[in-house]
Amino acid sequence: MRTISYHNQKDDVKYSFAVGKIRAMETRLLDGLLFKRLIDSKDTREMGRLLVETSYGDLFKEGAASADFEALLNAELKRTYQLIKDIDPDPASACNLLALHYDFHNLKVLLKLRQSPSEADSFLINLGLYGPEAIRQMVTSSDYSPLPLNLAKAISSLVTELEKSSPPSQWIDIQLDHILYTYLIRQAEHLNNKFLITLFRFQIDLINIRTLLRVKQMEKEASFLQSVLLEGGEISKEKMLSFLEEPNDKLISSLNFAPYAQVIKEGINYYEKEKSLALFERLADNFFIQYIGQAKYIAFGVEPLISYILTKENETKNLRIVFVGKQNSLPKNIVEERLREIYA
Amino acid sequence: MSNRLNLSATRSNLLRIKEELEFAREGYELLEQKREVLVAEVIGMLESLRKSKKEVEEILNKAYRSFEQTSVILGMKKVSQITLAACSREKIQVSDRSIMGVVIPIVNYSRENMLCNIYGFQGTSASLDKTVHLFCSSLKKLAKLAELEVSLIRLATELKKTQRRANALNYLFIPQYSETIKYLENTLEEKERQELFQLKRAKNIHHKNN
CA A50 to centroid of chain Cα atoms: 26
Contact yes or no for A277 and B125 at CB 8 A: yes
- Could you list the pLDDT tens digit for every one of the 210 residues in chain B? 467 888 888 889 999 999 999 999 999 999 999 999 999 999 999 999 999 999 999 999 999 988 888 888 887 777 887 877 666 677 888 899 888 888 999 988 887 665 556 788 888 888 888 888 898 889 889 999 999 999 999 999 999 999 999 999 999 999 999 999 999 999 999 999 999 999 999 999 999 887
Q: Who among A123, A170, A181 is closest to B77 (CB)? A: A123
The span from the CA of A101 to the CA of A109, in Å, is 12
Contact yes or no for B80 and A123 at CB 8 A: yes
B88 in contact with A, Cβ within 8 Å = no
A336 in contact with B, Cβ within 8 Å = no
Q: What are phi and psi for residue B104, nearest 5 degrees?
A: -115, 135
**Do residues A6 and A234 make contact, with C-beta atoms less than 8 angstroms apart?**
no
Q: How confident is the model at residue A299, as a pLDDT?
A: 77
Q: Who among B84, B114, B122 is closest to A112 (CB)? A: B84
Is A331 exposed, middle or buried, given 0-12, 13-18 or 19+ CB atoms closer than 10 A? exposed
Q: Mean pLDDT, to the nearest integer, of A143-149?
A: 90
Q: How confident is the model at residue A334, as a pLDDT?
A: 81
Q: How confident is the model at residue A77, as a pLDDT?
A: 92
Burial pattern A276-298, b for ≥16 Cβ within 10 A else e, equals: bbbbbbbbbbbbbbbbbebbeeb
| Chain A interface, best mutation among B81, B125, B129, by max A CB count within 10 A | B81
**Do residues B176 and B5 make contact, with C-beta atoms less than 8 angstroms apart?**
yes
B136 in contact with A, Cβ within 8 Å = no
Q: Which structural domains are found in chain B, ordered by start?
A: 15-209 (1.10.287.3240)
The span from the CA of A252 to the CA of A63, in Å, is 51
Q: What residues of B are in contact with residue A325 (Cβ under 8 Å)?
A: 72
B119 in contact with A, Cβ within 8 Å = yes
Q: What residues of B are in contact with residue A181 (Cβ under 8 Å)?
A: 122
Burial pattern B143-153, b for ≥16 Cβ within 10 A else e, equals: bbbbbbeebbe
Q: How confident is the model at residue A6, as a pLDDT?
A: 46
**Do residues A168 and A111 make contact, with C-beta atoms less than 8 angstroms apart?**
no
Q: How confident is the model at residue A66, as a pLDDT?
A: 59
pLDDT at A24 over 70: yes
Binned at pLDDT 50, 70 and 90, residue A207 comes out as: very high
The number of domains in chain A is 1
Q: Who among B78, B81, B126 is closest to A210 (CB)? A: B126
Lowest mean pLDDT, pick from A105-119, A180-194, A310-324, B73-87: B73-87
Q: Report the residue of chain B nearest A112, measured CA to CA.
A: B85
A83 inside domain: no
* pLDDT tens, position by position, A169-188: 788 889 999 999 999 999 99
Q: How confident is the model at residue B88, as a pLDDT?
A: 65
A309 inside domain: no
**Do residues B38 and B155 make contact, with C-beta atoms less than 8 angstroms apart?**
yes
Instruction: Print the SS3 string covering B105-138.
Output: EEEEEEECCCHHHHCCCCCCCHHHHHHHHHHHHH
Is A314 exposed, middle or buried, given 0-12, 13-18 or 19+ CB atoms closer than 10 A? buried
Binned at pLDDT 50, 70 and 90, residue A343 comes out as: low
Q: How confident is the model at residue A96, as a pLDDT?
A: 86
B72 in contact with A, Cβ within 8 Å = yes
Of residues A344, A340, A323, A317, the one with CA closest to residue A74 = A317
Q: Who among B118, B125, B129 is closest to A170 (CB)? A: B118
Q: How confident is the model at residue B194, as a pLDDT?
A: 93
Angle formed at CA A95 by CA A93 and CA A101, multiple of 5 degrees: 130
Q: How confident is the model at residue A270, as a pLDDT?
A: 92
How many DSSP H helices and E strands does chain A contain?
16, 0
Q: How confident is the model at residue A45, as a pLDDT?
A: 83
Binned at pLDDT 50, 70 and 90, residue A64 comes out as: low
DSSP 8-state code for residue A65: -
Range of the domain at A135: 94-192
What number of other Cβ atoms are within 10 A of residue A82's Cβ?
10
Q: How confident is the model at residue B56, as a pLDDT?
A: 95
**Do residues B191 and B9 make contact, with C-beta atoms less than 8 angstroms apart?**
yes
Chain B nearest CA to A300, separation (Å): 31
A102 inside domain: yes
A113 inside domain: yes
Q: How confident is the model at residue B68, as a pLDDT?
A: 85
What ipTM score was computed for the predicted complex, to two decimals? 0.79
More confident of the two residues B80 and A100: A100
Q: Which helix (H) or strand (E) holds B96?
A: strand B90-99
Q: How confident is the model at residue A5, as a pLDDT?
A: 42
pLDDT at A200 over 90: yes
How many DSSP H helices and E strands does chain B contain?
4, 2
Lowest mean pLDDT, pick from A30-39, A91-100, B155-164: A91-100
Q: What is the mean pLDDT of chain A?
A: 85
Q: How confident is the model at residue A63, as a pLDDT?
A: 60
CA distances from A191 to A95, A302, B139 (A): 11, 11, 51
A12: left (phi over 0), alpha (psi -120 to 50) or beta: beta
Contact yes or no for A123 and B69 at CB 8 A: no
Lowest mean pLDDT, pick from A21-30, A157-166, A283-292, B81-90: B81-90
Binned at pLDDT 50, 70 and 90, residue A80 comes out as: very high
